[in-house]
Every structure is written in structure tokens, then in C-alpha cells.
């Protein structure tokens, strides 16, 4: 079984993230969507909320497992017997960071490859920070995130 890890903060999950998950499913038998638990960062949604959003949106995708981790990505990928790390690319500016990370993860992960998946062009501009900003001003985010995420954002910003 060819296993890949797709790491991220997913704060919150967007349609762009879901697009990358589906594309990765065409390449790998199993895709572990690994929510990063970084104690130095203050995410908008809790780890449990982020995992819950992902579980709800991927429940019909039989190849997906939702998990979380803390620490080095390469070590986590080795522990999960992954052959690759999946990263989404939206625009050219993503490439430089992802390229450097891929080299480091290959060294730390004893040869684990990184597969860069280009998201659908309709999601090139989309990221979680933009979604939170739009929502904070009461803007419509239904074209960017699942309904459960949209509702959670509205609720959080209404207080």
C-alpha cells in the first residue's frame, strides 16, 4: 500500500485543501491528512475542531485517514510508513518554500519524496487566512469553505 501524508494546519479547511486531498487520492492508496499541532502557534480553531471539519468533509473518501501530529514531519511520515509527503501548490511563490522543505524532509525522512500537487486554478488565490479575514468582516465565504466551516466562522465572529 502506497501511503502519503498531507500535512497542514487546515485552520480552517478550504475547498483548495479538499481539492488537493482528492488529487492525492488518485496517486496514493491511502492519504493521511495530518493536522499540525504546533504549541507555538495560536490557531483560530482548536485541533479537535480542525480534525472534525476534515473528518466530516472526507467521510465519503475511503482512502483518507485524518490524524494529527506534533514535531518533525519527516519523523511522523516514517512512523506512518509513508512513501511520500503531499503538498499543495497554488502559485509560484509557494514553490520556493516547498522545494526547500522537500529537500530537508528527504534528508530527515531517509528518502521520503515530496509530491507537489497543483490545485485547480479556481483555488489559486485561496488560503485559510483570506477566508478568516473575509469572514471577520461579515463577507460571504460559501464559495471557499464547506457549509460547516462557514457556520463555525459566522458563529465565532458574531461574538
Domain architecture of the chain: domains with CATH: 3-121 (3.40.50.620)
Listed in sequence order, the DSSP H helices in 26-146 are: 47-58, 73-79, 92-108, 128-136
Residue 122 is classified by DSSP as G
Give 87-116 pLDDT, tens digit per residue.
998 877 778 888 999 999 999 999 899 999
Residue 95 CB contacts under 8 Å (≥ 6 apart), including other chains:
89, 116
Positions marked active-site: 17, 41, 90, 128
Query: Is this prediction's pTM over 0.75?
Result: yes
Among 20, 9, 86, CA closest to 51? 9
159 pLDDT more than 70: no
Give 39-59 pLDDT, tens digit per residue.
888 999 999 999 999 999 999
Label residue 131 by pLDDT band (50, 70, 90). very high
| Residues facing 34 on adjacent strands | 7, 67
Label residue 85 by pLDDT band (50, 70, 90). very high
Q: How many Cα neighbours within 13 Å face the side chain of 43? A: 19
Count CB atoms within 10 A of the CB of residue 96. 9
Give 13-35 pLDDT, tens digit per residue.
999 999 999 999 999 999 999 99
Question: In whole angstroms, what is the distance from residue 43 CA to residue 11 CA?
Answer: 6
Q: What is the mean pLDDT of the chain?
A: 94
The Cα-based distances of 138 to 9, 38, 41, 45, 106 in angstroms read: 23, 28, 25, 18, 42
Q: What integer is the mean pLDDT of 126-155?
A: 95
Amino acid at each position: 500500500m502506497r501511503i502519503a501524508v498531507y500535512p497542514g494546519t487546515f485552520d480552517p479547511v478550504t475547498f483548495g485543501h479538499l481539492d488537493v486531498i482528492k488529487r492525492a487520492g488518485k496517486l496514493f492508496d491511502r492519504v493521511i491528512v495530518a493536522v499540525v499541532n504546533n504549541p507555538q502557534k495560536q490557531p483560530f480553531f482548536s485541533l479537535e475542531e480542525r480534525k472534525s471539519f476534515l473528518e466530516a468533509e472526507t467521510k465519503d473518501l475511503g482512502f483518507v485517514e485524518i490524524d494529527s501530529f506534533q514535531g518533525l514531519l519527516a519523523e511522523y511520515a516514517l512512523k506512518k510508513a509513508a512513501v511520500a509527503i503531499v503538498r499543495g501548490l497554488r502559485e509560484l511563490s509557494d514553490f520556493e518554500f516547498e522545494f526547500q522543505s522537500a529537500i530537508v524532509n528527504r534528508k530527515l525522512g531517509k528518502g521520503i519524496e515530496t509530491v507537489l500537487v497543483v490545485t485547480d486554478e479556481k483555488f489559486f488565490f485561496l488560503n485559510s487566512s483570506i477566508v478568516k479575514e473575509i469572514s471577520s468582516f461579515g463577507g460571504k465565504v460559501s464559495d471557499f469553505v464547506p457549509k460547516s466551516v462557514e457556520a463555525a466562522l459566522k458563529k465565532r465572529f458574531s461574538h
